Structure 1
């Protein structure tokens, strides 16, 4: 919407709205964007940025609803070394990272009252103070705020400060919902069809007349995001040039005539689930409902809670149980070694949707094999290894998969983990990429460049090796810590000069033609994949861990022998082209193996290097964290 890559919108409501934006864009005024979920608030903010005098500088967006209570201030304003446990070095916050550019504070209404006070001062004084410091730092940042809630009502409920509201409300714009500008639907639909056909490497698709008619009549409760996701899925799954109404997944909107039928259908569904999965239904359905609500609201906790009809506190309790966020409670004391394991057991697996665990989940192998043994399998998805290791440490999951670097960082923070198994090296599955037109051609040109990476991930280790090879220290470049992200937008190109990526998005980025690989892990890092278990879980559930490893061995053989079928299984989950996934799967052997001395030494080398650079708080002894299949206990390795 509203940028140069999308056709001009013709609905009068959109044209009036864009006229307002064109007046606000050239100014430095703080803008408050109000609109329903999925209506395109971030796109509007990007439009304001790209049509301002700050367009050459970064555009950064932070979701205030996703900031944890304890770290929100440090995330926004930065922190000094030693400001809190785990602060091993000084780190700038979002405001400093957006210097000279624009910072979008999305879901501004989710900020705590204490942070609202500090934000008000930043807006008034144009300076921030890092956590752990008393020195004010001047910032030159244009702030755009966005919300889907009625802030005036929030003020009446004493959830939002009135003075901050008036400071933000200098230039307020109300973004119309898609149902209020229906004449734009054909243009937007054509845009998304072309976009995803190109991105997925598929022939162009077009809508049948009756499909467009159905779209014009549909109320679009999820707005443009719902339209985009619906057409993305249609392009991904469609085998024909013409998309018919049956290929679109319209949400079922209840009416008075259908409510009774809906109740009967729900009762029938529950009866079926109880018959098939007795004893496991509650967790399965709760997990599915929460996952669906989070996806539909783009992971906004307040909106997901409202959609489910529960409080945000109740939702966060469930999210903590699923390993999505850190639990607010301390873990209860675990049973002593002589305490027998409970009869009914759980296996909580943390996974990323790619690789052996992703395929194992898609095939539901474990669920079938554990059906008669009283082991309930629960899955929690994570964007990357560092987040998965944090959940393991919080007793939110029992088993998961990650790359080389995250378990090393976790051990230095006293995370009680065990290495269970590993997969062979895949050095070409990690890389540094730059835009095709970038002047960076060799790693020797990285001095002073901004490099984006996911902190504590495998690509962090690759970056250390790349810099050392070029004779550079991490302080010689500007490291921008970001969550894993793809595709990159034009604003992302301004925020960093290079990005550290891993498969499968790396393979997809290479195939797009927009990004160029400067350096891979080849000759620099092994990029092993490890399976990790929580130490105390493995002690009492050795048979469960052994069974999972056996299932992973069989899954790895399936992937290596039937790569195309495995890629197809993952394609619909990830929204990436099957060809990209086949390329990514082909870059490594998926044969799961028991830990051996050679791979343990490789991990120890990584741990020693990170400690020498001051990136770890204490030295790590990898050999003390190895699981043995027969006993589930750890033993010291003898020096070779």
Structure 2
């Protein structure tokens, strides 16, 4: 195991990694570590824990890919005596065992969708409910997730929930394979040699020049783990004082064959993409699954091992292909299927939120749960980083109700989504702004010509950017738009990829307080930046009896925020991992008084919609009035 405090890695990639560890460790933010198998994801997780305030508390790691489907929920969240056959005693799960410390969810991409829902709830509510119990147990655990799976592809294939991805990906570390960190290979090789030579009482062992050459030219498909094992094996088999290429037992022919095969596969895929083969991703996936299933004689475990995926993931794909019988379903929500499971309730109100503002405080206070529980309604919360992602979830039926700024609903309507405006909150033009680094040469809007500007596509700041450019006669072709999710603090790669950032609260206030960025212009006199609450008609019909109560709950919360901003900021600070002073400043920039829709607000929304259509950013004109909830 590498200790990043004592191994001085030379490669610039690794030196940046060490800086990222020291930056991320002191925070409480959930962290997602990605990288190929063997790159040292658990080592990084331990390093983060060791440099955090939780270092004297437990660090536990659970391999999600090794959990059996039948016992996974019990393993993670615990169970009560008698909850199922064989449950002779109560048992705490991994989350309870790690209380106060850090829990690494290794290979989180292998969790079933049923468990992904359960995990999302635990991360949002900060509590677990054991199998066989209805009592919520509070937990204080920092979660680090790790995976070798490309989760964005898994989301596209409907194997991983997008809302869980954003909940895990608050801060992220991507580990580069060893072949991309050439300057580290010999440093690590000497580190492992010293460790194992001392362990076997062979301190005189040294690499021959030929062995060093072999180490640096090998492709290391197994990454650091393979290097570790190769050195360990060489030390065990050594007879003299020299570690030779033969002792390393690295099959260069096999490695060359693997590289050739990889190159041929890459060439084939490139050719298929160039030819514009329709539905290439789905066809390739189906071919891989069906051929592996056939070659293994329909043995699911062997087929999953052949493909390098979990048995559950394989079963899901086989079910979609009709090669095995699918699980019984009780309903379909957009493109997402809901499986029958213990404790499912017919009346579930699923709310999408962004942690900040009325819904963030409402969730933290658990006011809705108390109000709706007597009515038999279970409130489920799903977090999203910004309005466009939330609108996507609303359109796909993943949530029933949510809040965004002015622009995302317009893009939603233009995509034929039958959303409904429910209510709005007053304008906050100062809560959106154009930001640049302190040492940037950009001083005025005129300096933006030819610059790279990071913006969340379809967001409120997207509209502000159009207004700013229009003021100085700069068109969209005169700049380079970098479409990216909102984030802060910025990493080194962020500052290299863009020259300016369109930001909104609370990240905007956080950035201004930190002093890393400075404001060029904000939305004053340019945009309104109202906040809207949205749903769709079939949800409104189902929950007609409680929507008035929901609006009242938002009004009560808004009054609380406006009259107790300090306390509201303290309430949000831990969840957002943002200084409460910055949050208080962000809350003070708008009134949080929730109000029903009126004609003036609709006219202002229509002006924005017409502007986007005129610029060619919407595929068709829309009529905002057609998307308003009639509360009578």
Cα 1:585–1:175 shift into 2, 3 Å: same
Cα 1:538–1:440 shift into 2, 3 Å: same
What's the counterpart of residue 82 of structure 1?
none
What's the counterpart of residue 225 of structure 1?
48
Any idea what SS the aligned residue of 1:437 has?
coil
Larger Rg: 2
Does the CA-based 8 Å contact 2:566-2:584 persist in structure 1? yes
Structure 2, gaps ≥5 residues long: 22-31, 64-73, 84-89, 93-113, 129-140, 168-315, 321-331, 337-343
What's the counterpart of residue 149 of structure 1?
37
What's the counterpart of residue 267 of structure 1?
80
What's the counterpart of residue 288 of structure 1?
121
What's the counterpart of residue 71 of structure 2?
none
Does the CA-based 8 Å contact 1:322-1:396 persist in structure 2? no
Task: State how far apart, in whole Å, the 1-side matches of 2:623 and 2:498 are.
Answer: 35
Aligned CA RMSD, in angstroms, stands at 4.3
Q: Please list, as runs of the form range in 1=range in 2, the aligned pairs for 1:84-95 lying within 5 A after superposition.
A: none
Task: State how far apart, in whole Å, the 1-side matches of 2:347 and 2:535 are.
Answer: 15
Does the CA-based 8 Å contact 1:563-1:582 persist in structure 2? yes
Q: Please list, as runs of the form range in 1=range in 2, the aligned pairs for 1:532-547 lying within 5 A after superposition.
A: 532-547=534-549
In structure 1, which of residues 319, 333, 349 is the aligned counterpart of residue 161 of structure 2?
319
Q: Please list, as runs of the form range in 1=range in 2, the aligned pairs for 1:600-615 lying within 5 A after superposition.
A: 600-615=602-617
Does the CA-based 8 Å contact 1:353-1:574 persist in structure 2? yes
Cα 1:223–1:627 shift into 2, 3 Å: same
What's the counterpart of residue 467 of structure 1?
469
Task: State how far apart, in whole Å, the 1-side matches of 2:371 and 2:156 are.
Answer: 32
In structure 1, which of residues 342, 346, 349 is the aligned counterpart of residue 348 of structure 2?
346
Any idea what SS the aligned residue of 1:471 has?
coil
What's the counterpart of residue 360 of structure 2?
358
Q: Please list, as runs of the form range in 1=range in 2, the aligned pairs for 1:340-489 lying within 5 A after superposition.
A: 344-489=346-491
Instruction: For residue 358 of structure 1, report the CA deviation from its aligned partner.
Output: 0.5
Task: State how far apart, in whole Å, the 1-side matches of 2:456 and 2:50 are.
Answer: 30
In structure 1, which of residues 34, 43, 55 is the aligned counterpart of residue 17 of structure 2?
43
Instruction: For residue 494 of structure 1, report the CA deviation from its aligned partner.
Output: 1.8
Does the CA-based 8 Å contact 1:323-1:380 persist in structure 2? no
Any idea what SS the aligned residue of 2:79 has?
helix
Q: Please list, as runs of the form range in 1=range in 2, the aligned pairs for 1:515-530 lying within 5 A after superposition.
A: 515-530=517-532
Instruction: For residue 491 of structure 1, report the CA deviation from its aligned partner.
Output: 2.8
Any idea what SS the aligned residue of 1:543 has?
coil
Does the CA-based 8 Å contact 2:121-2:381 persist in structure 1? no
Task: State how far apart, in whole Å, the 2-side matches of 1:518 and 1:377 are.
Answer: 41
List per-residue Cα deviations over 1:290-333 (Å, max 9, x = no partner): 778998344748499xxxxxxx89995572697979x9997469
Structure 1, gaps ≥5 residues long: 3-7, 26-39, 48-65, 67-105, 108-146, 151-173, 179-219, 235-243, 255-260, 274-280, 305-311, 335-341, 631-640
Task: State how far apart, in whole Å, the 1-side matches of 2:82 and 2:583 are.
Answer: 34
Cα 1:580–1:445 shift into 2, 3 Å: same
Any idea what SS the aligned residue of 1:296 has?
strand
Instruction: For residue 472 of structure 1, report the CA deviation from its aligned partner.
Output: 1.2
TM-score between the two structures when normalised by the length of structure 2: 0.56
TM-score between the two structures when normalised by the length of structure 1: 0.56
Task: State how far apart, in whole Å, the 1-side matches of 2:347 and 2:77 are.
Answer: 33
What's the counterpart of residue 559 of structure 1?
561
Q: Please list, as runs of the form range in 1=range in 2, the aligned pairs for 1:178-189 lying within 5 A after superposition.
A: 178=43
List per-residue Cα deviations over 1:98-146 (Å, max 9, x = no partner): xxxxxxxx95xxxxxxxxxxxxxxxxxxxxxxxxxxxxxxxxxxxxxxx
Does the CA-based 8 Å contact 2:540-2:547 persist in structure 1? yes
Does the CA-based 8 Å contact 1:331-1:394 persist in structure 2? yes
Aligned length: 401
